């Protein structure tokens, strides 16, 4: 397995699969259209965010979307992990952990002193994030009508 930045055709494939990643990551609570997912991702890419992909030969296994975010209270910019996704047929092989390690290393090398991410309550990935040293910082709550 190799983790690297994607080529143009691989980036297109990742973006086309982003609705599935968003659906899975939100535990089925958000089902964006292909257009909406592309709009969200394009906005991040235009601001300097980037993907790292995991491949085996020419086969895409998963990806992580990295960038930055500004803390509105401290006026501080932090590294941010926007998306982590492994295709279903490759899950259970430690790919998420390797993508996270590569993402953390990339953001550290860019000079960030802190890395943040958001995750839906109940997502199994929380265990991975905690094992990698992430701590709960805020809780977002909602009331639906």
pLDDT at 89: 94
Q: Quick one: pLDDT at residue 34?
A: 85
- The DSSP result for the chain, as a single string, is -EEEPPPHHHHHHHHHHHHHHHHHHTTTS----HHHHHHHHHHHHHTT-EEEEEEETTEEEEEEEEEEEEETTTTEEEEEEEEEEE-GGGTTSSHHHHHHHHHHHHHHHTT-S-EEE---TT-THHHHHHHTT------------
Q: What is the pLDDT of residue 14?
A: 95
**Is 137 inside any structural domain?**
no
CA distances from 93 to 1, 25, 60, 65, 81 (A): 11, 18, 14, 20, 21
Residue 143: predicted pLDDT: 80
Q: Looking at residue 26, which CATH number applies to its domain?
A: 3.40.630.30
Q: Do the domain assignments include residue 6? A: yes
At 56 the pLDDT is: 94
Looking at residue 38, what is its pLDDT?
A: 87
Residue 145 lies in a domain: no
Position 46 in a domain: yes
Please tell me the predicted confidence (pLDDT) of residue 42. 93
Look at residue 140 and tell me if it is in a domain. Answer: no
Number of domains comprising the chain? 1
Q: What are the per-10-residue average pLDDT scores of the chain (145 residues)?
A: 95 92 82 87 95 95 96 88 95 96 97 93 90 88 80
Is residue 142 domain-resident?
Answer: no
Q: Which domain holds residue 114?
A: 2-131
Q: Within a domain: residue 8? A: yes
Q: Return the pLDDT at 31.
A: 84
* Residue 70 maps to a domain: yes
């Amino acid at each position: 397995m190799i983790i690297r930045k994607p080529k143009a055709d691989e980036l297109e494939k990742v973006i086309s699969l982003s609705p599935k990643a968003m659906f899975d990551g939100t535990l089925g609570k958000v089902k964006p259209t292909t257009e909406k997912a592309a709009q969200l991702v394009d906005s991040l890419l235009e601001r300097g965010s980037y993907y790292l992909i995991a491949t085996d030969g020419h086969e895409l296994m998963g990806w992580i979307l990295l960038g930055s975010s500004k803390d509105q209270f401290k006026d501080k910019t932090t590294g941010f992990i926007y998306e982590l996704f492994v295709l279903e047929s490759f899950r259970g092989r430690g790919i998420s952990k390797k993508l996270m390690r590569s993402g953390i290393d990339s953001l550290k090398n860019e000079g960030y002193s802190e890395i943040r991410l958001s995750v839906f309550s109940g997502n199994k990935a929380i265990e991975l994030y905690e094992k990698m040293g992430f701590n709960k910082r805020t809780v977002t709550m909602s009331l639906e009508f």
